[in-house]
Amino acid sequence: MIFITAKMRVKPEHADDWPNITKAFTEATRGEPGCKFFEWSRSLEDPNEYVLIEAFDGPDAGAAHVGSEHFRTATQELPAYLAETPRIISQNLEGKDDWDELGELAVR
């Protein structure tokens, strides 16, 4: 599984509309056969920052995502709404294919 987290600082005038701005890209990515999840959250500390957590089945699915038309469109259109270049952590997690439970907060 390829696990990716990206932080995106959006220009303040576009921050409230970011979910709509990214809607087509988000829906197309979620529809990819190798996409495990693609989830946006808004920072509690900085209302102009969004965090994207995404995962793909593996290198082939990741390559298909980056090679998709909707990814190319996003790389052309989305930078106009950003305040800075996004920051990313991307890891290939061998042997993983889903979330683990957080045992320290187990619900009994």
For 48, the token pair is: 């102009």
Q: Residue ranges of the alpha helices (H) in the chain?
A: 12-15, 18-21, 23-30, 59-66, 69-77
Of 71, 64, 81, 66, nearest to 19 by C-alpha is 81
Domain 2-91 has CATH 1.20.120.10: no
CA distance 36 to 1: 9
pLDDT tens over the chain, length 108 residues: 999 999 999 999 999 999 999 999 999 999 999 999 999 999 999 999 999 999 999 999 999 999 999 999 999 999 999 999 999 999 999 988 899 999 999 998
Query: Whole-prediction pTM value?
Result: 0.91
